Structure 1
Amino acid sequence: MRRGIKVRLVAFVVLSVTSILYVGANYLGFIDQALGRGYTVHVMLPDSGGLYEGSEASYRGVRIGKVAKMEVKGDGLQVDLAIDEDTKIPVDSPVFVHNLSVVGEQYISFEPTTKNGPLLKDGDTVRGTAESLPLGEDVLLQDLDKFVSSVNVSELNTVVTELGTMFRDNANPLRSMVDSAQKFIDAAVENEPQTLALLDDAQTVLQTQKDNSDNIRSFAKDLADVTETLATSDKDVRAILDRAAPSADEVTRLVRTLRKSLPPLLKPLISVTEVLDARLPALEQLLVTFPRLISSGPSALTDGSQTDGQKFGRVNLNLNQDPGACTEGYLPPGQWRPTSEESFVPPYYEAQCASGPPVNMRGTKYAPPLFDWKNQ
């Protein structure tokens, strides 16, 4: 064998052994200890929960170290964790012991709710509680034994027999139910965004119902009162329903009869309503004054003579000339129209009272305007 080949083989063997030793030492933590890498965190637990030296330590499922040492202290157990370098763990992180598999490989896990600091440093201590430990296999087996012992064998036999009777000859319906359930699941997956939006809207609806709970209860109570009244008046309601059909027919015939005559009758009322709207202040004053005028009517009655006992009405009209009527602002007397004239003459719309207070200011100027004659 040539010398060059021997050198290469020796180098390969040396590198292989060195790599194996490095990987093994790194796995066992010798390199971190020798180089001073990583840091140690103490975890205080009420019990080991199945942990052992060499168990993994994880951060939200990612391996960050291992259990380096376990020591009983006081009424608990101190677990020293060798944490990898540059691992950042919040100080208030809850710690739990979980089962890695069904055979009972436990590991310790940090499960923080936030990434914010402060962070754990070398020598810090994290305290766990009884809730941090998993359910022991001995407790599980004891509970399972108690459960099995509590089952009545005769009744269990009856249940199994009834289940067999229920599922016998029902293979096709069960298969159809499973297939339909699968289709339902597929449809739910396809419509996941719409389902999530529906759930979000349902939250708003439920919150609204909560905010209006008093109104809903009041409505339900009133509805119960109405339904109770309807229940006690069942005969009357049935009588109304029996007579409602003929009454509805009569109303239908009445509407058909008035269909042609009622619109022409109502159309002129539009003009009437326009006039009433323009004179609305005067109408309001009339409605206020008229009852007072009617109420003063009996005061105009006076008793007659004692012999006949009749009553007589008395009404006095007084012409008030103070202050006098308004005369300025109108046509001069020479242009006044004689009372005997019967032909149509355009009205003089410029007429207005120019005398001013305190005379009786009358005329169209002081009436609610209906039409702007000046701008026509």
Structure 2
Amino acid sequence: MILTTLIKRQLRIFAVLTLVALFFAVVVYARVPALLGVGVYEVRAEYADASGLYPKAIVTYRGVQVGEVADLEVGDGGAVADLRIDDEHDIPATVVAELHSTSAIGEQYVDLVPAPGEDAGEDSASLGEGDVIPVERTVEMPQITPVLESVNDLLASVPRARTRRVLDQVDQGLAGSGPDLAGTIENADSLLRTAQDRLAVTTSLIRTAQPVLGTQQALRGTTLSYAQSLAAFTSELAGRDRDLRALLSQGPAGLRAATELVNDLQPTLPLLVTNLTTNAEVLNTYLPQIQEGLVYYPVTVARLQSAINPRAEFGDVNLDLRANVNNPPACSQGYLAASERRDPSVAQFRDVDLLAHCTVPEADPKSVRGARLLPCPQGGGRGPLPSSCGLDFGKGVWPEGAGPSGRRDLSRGVTVGGDASMELPAEQGWQALVLGPVSVR
């Protein structure tokens, strides 16, 4: 056979390809360098029970394969697994070696899990050649045999005759409802798939709900009190069921009658309630002064009775009167001058200055009890008018065509009249008194 130049070249190419294939088979597939300890390091994991684990089983970290089980041997009080891990993976030295199975009857593998409460950082130590994972940081594979034995015992404890009778009754009860049951199962399956798709969101929601649940647990006493009060309230409602039914049946007729009554009282009732709102606002502002007057009223009556009752049979009163003439002197500042006063014989009408009061300084002895010394209801200051104390009350209203043609607003010193007197401000209308309480200043 003559080897031509072309044949020699082809043989050289085949030889090179064969060498490359053998190299990949030895290095990549057979992992001969790893068997010789090149590019890997070995870690020993101690287990109290390593049943089901075998050599060549994979080793994972955070779900990624990082090595394999090199060998298994019997140790002191358990089994020792030699884990061969690739050098390219840095694994924390505090990991926990757990045994898991790929399925209920599948092969086992070693899963390296970070220790609870610890996070691998740049400065944390990593596993190295010869490190040992003690039995305290290893988790064995749960044995299926005790579970199967428990299930077998449970099935053996179920009476067959009664179970058959129950199944027959269930079959009779579900007769004809097969499509509905199938729809329920399909909907449940769809619900489970949706929940699985939203697993991350659901897990985040559960973690976020933990502080809320902790707060609710801290408020357990208050919640129980609310629940007990609600139970008492609902029990009372249940006892008044007949009255509630009567109210619901007769209420519409009563509401219609009340509506007709209110319509018949237009516009008298709105005007009355509006003016009552203004009066209530004033009374609410001066409530402390009214309370003080009510407190002093019995004392004043008692003083009068102490002066009258002892002398009642004699027809006189035990009083001590003293006359003061121009002491203190009367105040004229702030009123009309004497030259502007009219003669009593003049019969023409003239507006009266309702804001006239003594305007002398507070320390002046004139008009000691004058309006300028009236205390403000909220304390801290005195003034003759509510506006002097920063108060602003609403205005009364008059029906159209009734009342004075012009009236003076003492809080503002302006004259209001005509059709404007019929305007009902929304914040001081009669609806505000009916639908809401008077605000407390």
The TM-score with structure 1 as length reference comes to: 0.71
Q: Which residue of 1 aligns with 2:420?
A: none
In the alignment, structure 1 residue 112 sits paired with structure 2 residue 114:
yes
Query: Residue 91 and residue 141 in structure 1: after superposition, are their counterparts in 2 closer, same or farther (change >3 A)?
Result: same
Counterparts of residues 342-357 of structure 1 (less than 5 Å): 342=346, 352-353=359-360, 357=364
In the alignment, structure 1 residue 91 sits paired with structure 2 residue 90:
no
Q: What letter matches 1:320 in structure 2?
A: N
Q: Among 323, 329, 332, which residue is 1:325 paired with?
A: 329
Q: Distance in 1 between matches of 2:97 and 2:42?
A: 15
Q: 1:154, CA displacement in angstroms? A: 3.1
Query: Residue 233 and residue 328 in structure 1: after superposition, are their counterparts in 2 closer, same or farther (change >3 A)?
Result: closer
Q: 1:218, CA displacement in angstroms? A: 1.4
Please say if residues 352 and 364 of structure 1, whose CA atoms lie closer than 8 Å, have aligned partners that are also in contact. Answer: no
Q: Distance in 2 between matches of 1:177 and 1:228?
A: 37
Name the larger-Rg structure: 1
Please say if residues 335 and 358 of structure 2, whose CA atoms lie closer than 8 Å, have aligned partners that are also in contact. Answer: yes
Q: Which residue of 1 aligns with 2:394?
A: none
Please say if residues 329 and 354 of structure 1, whose CA atoms lie closer than 8 Å, have aligned partners that are also in contact. Answer: no
Q: 1:98, CA displacement in angstroms? A: 2.3
Structure 1 unaligned residues grouped into runs of 5+? none
In the alignment, structure 1 residue 263 sits paired with structure 2 residue 267:
no
SS in 2 for 1:90: coil
Q: 1:320, CA displacement in angstroms? A: 2.8
In the alignment, structure 1 residue 51 sits paired with structure 2 residue 53:
yes
Q: Among 29, 36, 39, which residue is 2:41 paired with?
A: 39
Q: Which residue of 1 aligns with 2:72?
A: 70
Q: Distance in 2 between matches of 1:9 and 1:66?
A: 39
Q: Which residue of 1 aligns with 2:8?
A: 6
Please say if residues 45 and 82 of structure 2, whose CA atoms lie closer than 8 Å, have aligned partners that are also in contact. Answer: yes
CA displacement, residues 72-121 of structure 1 (integer Å, 9 cap, x when unaligned): 22112221122111211111211122234566532222122543322111
Please say if residues 95 and 132 of structure 1, whose CA atoms lie closer than 8 Å, have aligned partners that are also in contact. Answer: yes
Q: What letter matches 1:48 in structure 2?
A: A
Please say if residues 71 and 81 of structure 2, whose CA atoms lie closer than 8 Å, have aligned partners that are also in contact. Answer: yes
SS in 2 for 1:115: coil
SS in 1 for 2:267: helix
Q: Which residue of 2 aligns with 1:82?
A: 84
Q: 1:61, CA displacement in angstroms? A: 3.1
Structure 2 unaligned residues grouped into runs of 5+? 375-383, 386-409, 414-441
CA displacement, residues 238-295 of structure 1 (integer Å, 9 cap, x when unaligned): 8888987887676555434433322344566688779879998986765555443222
Please say if residues 56 and 68 of structure 2, whose CA atoms lie closer than 8 Å, have aligned partners that are also in contact. Answer: yes
Q: 1:225, CA displacement in angstroms? A: 3.6
- Aligned-residue Cα RMSD (Å) equals 4.9
Q: Distance in 2 between matches of 1:263 and 1:341?
A: 43
Out of 193-202 and 133-142, give the one that drifted further.
Answer: 193-202
Counterparts of residues 144-293 of structure 1 (less than 5 Å): 144-166=151-173, 169-181=176-188, 206=213, 209-228=216-235, 251-252=258-259, 254-265=261-272, 286-287=293-294, 289-293=296-300
Q: 1:311, CA displacement in angstroms? A: 5.3
Query: Residue 284 and residue 253 in structure 1: after superposition, are their counterparts in 2 closer, same or farther (change >3 A)?
Result: same
Q: What letter matches 1:87 in structure 2?
A: H
State percent identity of aligned pairs.
25
Q: 1:299, CA displacement in angstroms? A: 1.6
Out of 232-241 and 168-177, give the one that drifted further.
Answer: 232-241
Query: Residue 74 and residue 273 in structure 1: after superposition, are their counterparts in 2 closer, same or farther (change >3 A)?
Result: closer
SS in 2 for 1:48: coil
What is the total number of aligned residue pairs between the two structures? 370
Q: 1:44, CA displacement in angstroms? A: 0.7
Please say if residues 50 and 141 of structure 2, whose CA atoms lie closer than 8 Å, have aligned partners that are also in contact. Answer: no
CA displacement, residues 286-341 of structure 1 (integer Å, 9 cap, x when unaligned): 55554432222212225569xxx575445554323484314785999984858755
Q: Distance in 2 between matches of 1:291 and 1:184?
A: 77
SS in 1 for 2:265: helix
Q: Distance in 1 between matches of 2:170 and 2:20?
A: 66
Q: Distance in 2 between matches of 1:104 and 1:186?
A: 24
Query: Residue 71 and residue 339 in structure 1: after superposition, are their counterparts in 2 closer, same or farther (change >3 A)?
Result: same
Please say if residues 67 and 83 of structure 2, whose CA atoms lie closer than 8 Å, have aligned partners that are also in contact. Answer: yes
Query: Residue 304 and residue 154 in structure 1: after superposition, are their counterparts in 2 closer, same or farther (change >3 A)?
Result: closer
Please say if residues 335 and 357 of structure 2, whose CA atoms lie closer than 8 Å, have aligned partners that are also in contact. Answer: no
